[in-house]
Amino acid sequence: MEGIWPESESFSDRDMGEIPSRWRGVCQKGEKFHVSDCNRKIIGARWYIKGYEAEFGKLNTSDILEFLSARDAVGHGTHTSSTAAGAFVGNASFMGIARGIARGGALRARLAIYKVCWATGGCSSADILAAFDDAIHDGGQALYLGEHVDKFYGIVYAEDIASDNADSTDARKPTVKFSTTKTVLGTVIAPEVAYFSSRGPSSLSPFVLKVPL
């Protein structure tokens, strides 16, 4: 994800208990982000830049708004964090419109932030994997990967993983694209789940793994 803006009321630790003793994470300081920015709600924060700079070159923050820390410069990380686990915020509105109460899906949950994406739009796979390793070691119980939508990401063929002669020179380079959801009107809903999609591995394509429904 792209970090967090810890001053948001959504991340208040009011009425939250002590941090669980099983938690082994840290609050890593950086540009405009201090250890004191963590609390009983934001219990951990790390940021990863080595993979990005090895892949894309040194990150130049002179011509973009970005912080070399877990602080969010684009708003996406703060948005997704508050949507998932934001605390109650009364009298919330969008510039005075739609006033009401804002809250996340699991408002009592705690947050640990692992910033791996930057304002340039770049995210390094090495940084993402390092963040996963740290999150598991720190004692995280649920992991969320906030990807950018409308962008293509490389994927691996399951068939190639099982193949004895597959290597990095394989010409096939499949990609997947995450897109925003949208409502489609006037479309007839399928009466049942398609057989091929719902019955687990198929004898026609045994290398495609699926969860039986």
147-160 burial, b if ≥16 CB within 10 A, otherwise e? eeeeeeeeeeeeee
- 201 in a structural domain: no
pLDDT, tens only, 173-198:
555 555 555 655 665 555 554 444 44
Query: What's the whole-number mean pLDDT along residues 90-110?
Result: 89
CB neighbourhood size of 17 (10 A): 9
pLDDT score, position 141:
82
Residue 114 belongs to domain spanning: 9-147
Two tokens at 59? 């990150």
What total of structural domains would you count in the chain? 1
Q: Over the chain, what is the mean pLDDT?
A: 79
DSSP code string of 56-73: H-----SSS---SSSB-S
- 143 in a structural domain: yes
- 162 in a structural domain: no
Give residue 57's identity as a one-letter amino acid code: G
- 160 in a structural domain: no
For residue 13, pLDDT over 90 is answered with yes
Least confident of 22-26, 35-39, 67-71, 81-85: 81-85
- 169 in a structural domain: no
Query: What's the whole-number mean pLDDT along residues 71-79?
Result: 91
- 2 in a structural domain: no
Residue 113's domain is classified under what CATH number? 3.40.50.200
97-102 and 111-115 strand pairing: unpaired
- 121 in a structural domain: yes
What proportion of the chain, given as a percentage, has pLDDT over 90?
Answer: 46
- Taking the CA atoms of the chain, what radius of gyration do you get in angstroms? 21
Query: What's the whole-number mean pLDDT along residues 71-99?
Result: 90
* pTM of the model as a whole: 0.68
CB 197, CB 205: distance < 8 Å: no
pLDDT score, position 151:
56
Query: What's the whole-number mean pLDDT along residues 92-104?
Result: 88
Least confident of 15-24, 84-93, 116-125, 163-172: 163-172
- 83 in a structural domain: yes
pLDDT, tens only, 122-165:
888 899 989 989 999 999 888 776 655 555 555 444 444 444 55
